């Protein structure tokens, strides 16, 4: 069986499993056996030189890694914002267009939600599987925010970047400045709000943490056509001209999009990527969710045409729920990602940020411009569509 066929089958099985859960479930009630989500413990501060972590170059405090360099880097504790994150009125300012999408118009995501104040319980027979009986069908409405650079030539096929958990106003400002400095090609940015909630049993968790091509297919067939109409742009079909980005589960989603559809995306940028066991419904084909990336998938698959930039903080998340499966440590997950990417010969840059938490705002202000330059290497500003 070829890989595209296998991916489609996996996506169909996952969607069928979700539908089956709700078809068999009684009307949603707050179950007394489902405890409220436990408070997240304060994450420990990890030393980037811990035995077993990847060898990395320590940067001078306040400096970023070179935007052209592959490998592992340690960011100092001070996080000055890059000048590109500040609005510079002298530079051309792109337009921002916003529109709404509703679940009633979606063929792929009819919508789910978890009862407020509930989370789930580990399966007694399988601690790597979370049971969420309080998840049920529910509608969603979300915003899509589109940045169009001033330099866009009407009718031309624009390179673009798709971002999760939008809108990302910092991204738009950085693009204004980097495009004006000719450090990036004029590109469209598509910032998509999530479908609501978080983690297992929620619409956001279903979209971002599921290992399949479904979310990328939803973007391709339901979001991008609307973007072209609403923003009056034409988007490139060249995978080298397409990038994904996100933080936390939005970060794992960014890689999932490119991994399952490399014919659509070759460039990925993640902050505190949730490369942990967060997938729901449980899928026996990928039983450990995004933890499978560094456990099995990357090492066991041919090298994909993906360039990846990723960051994790020394105070990033550690076991934020009741599952004691050993697969909910964001620092370990990202460290393991760096190891397997290096072992397979990927072009990647891994940033371990000292004095930084989960999807750390200051670390993002310091690094986003450099990260964008890194993932867009090899794409000349005058590239023809």
Report DSSP letters for 2-36, one per residue: -HHHHHHHHHHHHHHHHHHHHHHSPSP---TTSPP
Q: How confident is the model at residue 24 (pLDDT cuts 50, 70, 90)?
A: very low
Which pLDDT belongs to residue 37?
57
Q: What is the pLDDT of residues 253-294, one digit of tens each?
A: 999 999 999 999 999 999 999 999 999 999 999 999 999 999
Q: What is the pLDDT of residues 73-105, one digit of tens each?
A: 999 999 999 999 999 999 999 999 999 999 999
Q: What is the pLDDT of residues 101-150, one digit of tens each?
A: 999 999 999 999 999 999 899 999 998 999 999 999 999 999 999 999 99
Q: Which of 347, 349, 344, 350 is nearest to 378 (CA)?
A: 347
Q: What is the pLDDT of residues 153-181, one digit of tens each?
A: 999 999 999 999 999 999 999 999 999 99
- CA dihedral in degrees (352, 354, 355, 358; nearest 10)? 10
Q: What global pTM score does this model have? A: 0.90
Q: How far is CA 340 from CA 250, 274, 336, 348, in A?
A: 21, 16, 6, 11
From CA 31, how far away is CA 28, in angstroms rounded? 9
Tokens for 268?
């990925």
Q: How confident is the model at residue 4 (pLDDT cuts 50, 70, 90)?
A: very low
Q: How confident is the model at residue 42 (pLDDT cuts 50, 70, 90)?
A: confident
Q: What is the pLDDT of residues 343-367, one digit of tens each?
A: 999 999 999 999 999 999 999 999 9
């Amino acid at each position: 069986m070829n890989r595209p066929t296998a991916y489609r089958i996996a996506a169909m099985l996952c969607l069928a499993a979700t539908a089956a859960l709700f078809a068999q479930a009684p009307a949603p009630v707050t179950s007394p056996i489902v405890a409220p989500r436990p408070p997240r413990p304060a994450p420990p501060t990890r030393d980037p030189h811990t035995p077993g972590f990847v060898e990395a170059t320590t940067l001078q405090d306040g400096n970023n890694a070179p935007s052209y360099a592959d490998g592992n880097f340690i960011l100092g504790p001070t996080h000055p914002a890059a000048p590109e994150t500040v609005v510079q009125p002298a530079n051309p300012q792109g337009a921002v267009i916003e529109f709404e999408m509703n679940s009633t118009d979606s063929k792929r995501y009819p919508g789910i939600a978890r009862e407020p104040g509930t989370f789930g319980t580990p399966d007694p027979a399988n601690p790597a599987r979370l049971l969420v009986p309080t998840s049920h069908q529910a509608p969603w409405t979300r915003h899509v925010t589109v940045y169009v650079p001033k330099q866009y030539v009407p009718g031309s096929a624009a390179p673009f970047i798709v971002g999760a958990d939008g809108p990302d106003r910092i991204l738009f400002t950085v693009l204004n400045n980097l495009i004006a400095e000719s450090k990036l090609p004029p590109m469209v940015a598509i910032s998509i709000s999530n479908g609501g909630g978080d983690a297992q049993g929620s619409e956001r968790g279903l979209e971002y943490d599921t290992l399949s091509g479904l979310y990328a297919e939803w973007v391709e067939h339901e979001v991008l056509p609307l973007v072209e109409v609403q923003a009056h742009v034409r988007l490139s079909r060249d995978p080298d001209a397409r990038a994904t980005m996100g933080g936390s589960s939005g970060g794992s989603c960014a890689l999932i999009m490119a991994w399952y559809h490399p014919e659509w995306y070759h460039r990925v940028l993640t902050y505190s990527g949730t490369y942990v066991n967060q997938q729901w419904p449980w899928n026996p084909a990928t039983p450990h969710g995004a933890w499978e990336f560094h456990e099995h998938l990357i090492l066991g698959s041919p090298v994909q045409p993906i360039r990846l930039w990723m960051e994790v903080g020394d105070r990033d998340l550690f076991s934020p729920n009741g599952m004691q499966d050993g697969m909910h440590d964001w620092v370990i997950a990202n460290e393991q990602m760096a190891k397997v990417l290096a072992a397979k010969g990927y072009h990647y840059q891994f940033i371990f940020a000292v004095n930084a938490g989960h999807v750390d705002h200051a670390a993002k202000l310091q690094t986003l411009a450099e990260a964008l330059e890194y993932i867009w290497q090899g794409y000349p500003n005058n590239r023809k569509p």
